[in-house]
Structure 1
Amino acid sequence: MTLQTSLDDDAAWQAVLARDRHFDGRFVTGVLSTGIYCRPSCPARHPARANVRFFVDGAAARAAGLRACRRCLPDDVARDERAVLDAIAAIRGSDEPLALAALATQSGYSPAHFQRLFTRNTGLSPAAYARALRSERAHTALSAADRVTDAVYDAGYSGPSRFYAAMKGRTGMEPSVWRRGGEGMTIHWAVMPCSLGDLLVAVTAKGVCRLSFNETAADLAKRFPNATLHAATAGTSDMFNRALAGVEAPATAAQVPIDVRGTAFQELVWKALSAIPPGETRSYAQIAASIGRPKAVRAVGSACGANQVAVLIPCHRAMRTDGTLGGYAYGLDIKSALLDKERKA
């Protein structure tokens, strides 16, 4: 039984040549000359293409007479994924922080190995994932509660001091202001010409909060109705120049500070997008698998759509499983041009 998914043999071989971990679990590589099968990311020397066949899983490879590679242990992929998903479920179901040792014991791995495994699959350590989840709950609680104090305990914090310490760096404003939709924020903005059209950049004291193509100050006002908006001044020009450079030279985009807010899931997706090397792409399904939520393919697409800072969070690197561009808020011409720019760079 050879590969029977939407991924064709040529794409599978390219994944093997790249040792792309995102394809682990989607198929295994059978090497007929040695009689073994491997993960796509196996670090062993690449076999000759003529000696390779692809199988949907280890069972299919074993049925063809092959045995598992002892170096990359391809049959452990399902166990790794299950361990991460079980840990996520445990974190989401607990009202108290769970120790790394407890999560590792549940998985059967050592704490150090489990920490690396969880981080590789989700982009966050277990502790950071738990903090992001609690922040998501705080966001919901602040929107529903009449008082910030009520939201503190509803979100699972032990007291106001812990809540304010955790939220200060993430929100860029006091939690009570956040609950009122950003009232009191000061945002400087500018519209600048770039190689892809007019570029709208809006910044707070923390970083870029909006970067978009072919939008105006009126569009910005609709997104931040309770903020105070000012046209850019000399004192803020450096941030705008850095944002423009991030669009024209994608390798510098990750160095631009941003001030965006999302749910725990959205931030997992955004972190996974930022981990994709410039010029490369991943399917929505691959991104969902990389954050430990393989069934959340549509939700990954929604998280891409919620991105407020184009290019700085590179949602243009997300594609459909069939390899087509999919959607993009600013049009497929700009998405294609961004990818071409990255590949040439």
Structure 2
Amino acid sequence: MPRRSFSAPTAIAADPLDLARRLLDEGEPSLADLASHTGLSASHLQRRFRARFGLSPAEYLARKKLGTLKAALREGRDVTTALYDAGYGSPSRLYEQGAAKLGMTPATYRAGGRGVAIRWTLVDTVLGRTLVAATERGICAIELGEDDTALERRLRDEFPHAQLERVEAGRDDFLAPRLQAVAERLAGREADVPVDLLGTGFQQRVWDALMKVPEGETVSYAGLARQLGAPRAARAVASACAHNRIAVVVPCHRVIRGDGSLGGYRWGLPRKQQLLARERG
């Protein structure tokens, strides 16, 4: 399947980086194509695009295609149709580019994680009872609550067909170091926590942007939508925050309403207040 064509917007954007992103959203231009349409050199465009959006143009395009694929699979479309609609030229290209980032094959993702190994445990943290779950690629869920049964139910609802294995906290060579890193982050200290973010392309863009909001600062739903170049998508941003499964590490607690009120929080407004007060202090 040939590279998808694209055409430059009729109204040239004042900002060459915004124009480059619009071209990527509309087709599959090469870096040379983008440089030609924006008037920047390829190397300069590459550097500035990564500085603005956190991804190279090629990575941005790959993320967009993967998001389209995931959304189609979630809707129940067959893998062959989904892969071509997403812009993968062949099944081999899909498995080279897509399966590795899904953390599972597309068919398995569509089947609710069937066969994927997820290890999880329950631990006490400074924020209360916490469920931590991980695939081989990283943390896929951090759920906060008080009731162990409810926490486990959330995990099983999220990954209904995965191979879920409960392990003893601190006694599993795979999960133990990840648990320590999670505990550090929940306590407000720096720690590198590898994550396995599974969601639509837009959700991943929101979650990526959230992880760039500095500690002690907040952003409004509308403000985050504007940062993403989708100023009318404040509700979609709020929905992405509500679907975030990784508490604190993906800091959706730093998103508030435009009037300064807290808005919602998957793990309860008292915890959101607690987290914001701690970070501001």
Same fold, judged at TM 0.5 (above): yes
Q: Which residue matches 2:134?
A: 203
Q: Which residue matches 1:217?
A: 152
| Aligned partners of 1:121 and 1:290 also within 8 Å | no
- The residue type equivalent to 1:247 in the other structure is L
Q: Where does 1:44-193 land on structure 2 (aligned, <5 Å)? A: 79-80=14-15, 83-94=16-27, 97-143=28-74, 144-146=76-78, 148-193=79-124
How far the C-alpha of 1:130 sits from its partner, in A, is 0.9
- The residue type equivalent to 1:332 in the other structure is L
C-alpha separation in 2, matches of 1:327 and 1:122: 26
Q: Where does 1:167-316 land on structure 2 (aligned, <5 Å)? A: 167-214=98-145, 215-233=150-168, 234-235=171-172, 236-252=175-191, 255-316=192-253
C-alpha separation in 1, matches of 2:227 and 2:81: 35
Q: Where does 1:325-336 land on structure 2 (aligned, <5 Å)? A: 325-336=262-273
C-alpha separation in 2, matches of 1:115 and 1:124: 9
C-alpha separation in 2, matches of 1:160 and 1:224: 25
RMSD: 2.1
C-alpha separation in 2, matches of 1:105 and 1:93: 16
- The residue type equivalent to 1:301 in the other structure is A
- The residue type equivalent to 1:90 in the other structure is L
C-alpha separation in 2, matches of 1:106 and 1:243: 44
- The residue type equivalent to 2:156 in the other structure is A
How far the C-alpha of 1:197 sits from its partner, in A, is 1.7
How far the C-alpha of 1:184 sits from its partner, in A, is 0.6
Gaps of 5+ in 1: 1-77
- 1:251-292 Cα deviation digits (max 9, x unpaired): 22xx11111212221111111111111121112222222222
Larger radius of gyration: 1
TM-score under structure 1 length normalisation: 0.69
Gaps of 5+ in 2: 1-12
Q: Which residue matches 2:6?
A: none
- The residue type equivalent to 1:256 in the other structure is V
Q: Name the count of aligned residue pairs.
A: 260
SS, match of residue 190 in structure 2 = helix
| Aligned partners of 1:124 and 1:268 also within 8 Å | no
How far the C-alpha of 1:305 sits from its partner, in A, is 1.2
How far the C-alpha of 1:120 sits from its partner, in A, is 4.1
How far the C-alpha of 1:113 sits from its partner, in A, is 4.1
SS, match of residue 257 in structure 1 = coil
Query: Would you say 1:323 and 2:254 are equivalent positions?
Result: no
C-alpha separation in 1, matches of 2:64 and 2:119: 30
C-alpha separation in 2, matches of 1:112 and 1:294: 29
SS, match of residue 292 in structure 1 = coil
Q: 1:338 aligns with which of 263, 275, 279?
A: 275
C-alpha separation in 1, matches of 2:228 and 2:40: 19
How far the C-alpha of 1:88 sits from its partner, in A, is 3.2
| Aligned partners of 2:218 and 2:254 also within 8 Å | yes
C-alpha separation in 2, matches of 1:326 and 1:250: 25
SS, match of residue 316 in structure 1 = helix
How far the C-alpha of 1:92 sits from its partner, in A, is 2.5
| Aligned partners of 1:250 and 1:342 also within 8 Å | no
How far the C-alpha of 1:203 sits from its partner, in A, is 1.5
- The residue type equivalent to 1:170 in the other structure is K
| Aligned partners of 1:251 and 1:278 also within 8 Å | no
| Aligned partners of 1:85 and 1:293 also within 8 Å | no
SS, match of residue 295 in structure 1 = coil
- 1:168-214 Cα deviation digits (max 9, x unpaired): 32111122211211111222222212222211111222211110110
TM-score under structure 2 length normalisation: 0.84
C-alpha separation in 2, matches of 1:284 and 1:110: 34
* Residue 218 to residue 140, structure 1, CA distance change in 2 (3 Å): closer
* Residue 213 to residue 240, structure 1, CA distance change in 2 (3 Å): same
- 1:133-177 Cα deviation digits (max 9, x unpaired): 11122223434433x334332321111221111113211112221
SS, match of residue 14 in structure 2 = helix
How far the C-alpha of 1:307 sits from its partner, in A, is 0.8
SS, match of residue 123 in structure 2 = strand
C-alpha separation in 2, matches of 1:294 and 1:84: 16
C-alpha separation in 1, matches of 2:216 and 2:63: 29
| Aligned partners of 1:320 and 1:326 also within 8 Å | yes
